[in-house]
Amino acid sequence: MPSVVADTHALVWYEEASPRLSPAALAAMQSAAGSGGQVYVSSVSMVEIAYLIEKGRLAADMFDRILQVLQQPGSDLAEITFTVAMAETLRRIPSSIVPDMPDRMIAATALYLNLPLVTADARLQVAPLVTIW
């Protein structure tokens, strides 16, 4: 399996080893990591994680846990910064299908990189990109 882009919830569930992560999603992420590929983490996901911590919806240490993994040499997680080119790609994802801007930004990252997006989000699964769940 080549590299994949992880949506925010998939990233959190992967880090937590949560049973909420589907078997196909877990297999895709482990396969990408085990085959020399990457599980790409959008900088947008890190912003979302910080926001969800502030709202009390995620454990207070989740941001630091993921940041620590991202900073480890040889980590299977790799940060990908949202760029202007990705913003241009975002215009290919209709807001009528995916109204949430952070979701569109993460989807545009996957579309720009031509990689599958690991996501449970039903709206993203019908957007014009390859998804795994």
Q: Cβ distance 44 to 82 under 8 Å?
A: yes
Q: Cβ distance 53 to 65 under 8 Å?
A: no
pLDDT tens digits, the chain, 133 residues: what are they? 589 999 999 999 999 999 999 999 999 999 998 888 999 999 999 999 999 999 999 999 999 999 999 999 989 999 999 999 999 999 999 999 999 999 999 999 999 999 999 999 999 999 999 999 9
Q: pTM score, two decimals?
A: 0.94
Torsion angles phi and psi, residue 82, rounded to 5: -75, 125
**Domain definitions of the chain by residue range:** 4-128
Instruction: Look up the CATH superfamily of 4-128.
Output: 5'-nuclease (3.40.50.1010)
And the tokens for 77? 């997680």
Q: How many C-beta atoms lie closer than 10 Å to residue 52's C-beta?
A: 17
